[in-house]
Amino acid sequence: MKKALLILGCIVATSTTFANDFTGTDQSLICVNLPVGVGYAASFYVTSENGFESKMTEKFNVGETRCIDVSAVMEGDIITTHVEPKLASNGKIIKCDPPVKKVPGKAITYKASGALWNAWCAK
């Protein structure tokens, strides 16, 4: 039992340590986090300067993070993340700041914040 817990602990520690590094693969992710205290649920999608456009994610709630695989985007392309706060009366989609350059094997996480009427998103 102790050996199983030790092995599980090592796996969890390793997963946590390398959560944003996929070195050796081309898996690249763009993520958006809605921390506790933000005033809205959201969906998001990403675009690149060379025409890539992902599907919009399903709605996710405060305290959650969603990611989009951008492995199909060419290395070095600029990726823009577009967040749609839900329940916004104006239907406004905000752009996360700054846009990022695609690097194979890396995950970028933005934090969406603000109130429903004054939403923003940044790294």
Q: Which domains does the chain have, with CATH numbers?
A: 21-122 (2.60.40.2890)
pTM above 0.85, yes or no: no
Rounded Cα gap, residues 66 and 101, in angstroms? 19
100-118 per-position pLDDT tens digit: 999 999 999 999 999 888 8
Cα-based torsion angle of the residue sequence 117, 118, 119, 122 in order, rounded to the nearest 10 degrees: 180
Is there a contact between 76 and 86 (Cβ–Cβ < 8 Å)?
A: no
Q: Which residue has the higher pLDDT, 59 or 4?
A: 59
Judged against a pLDDT cut of 50, whether residue 19 lies above it is answered with no
Is there a contact between 46 and 68 (Cβ–Cβ < 8 Å)?
A: yes
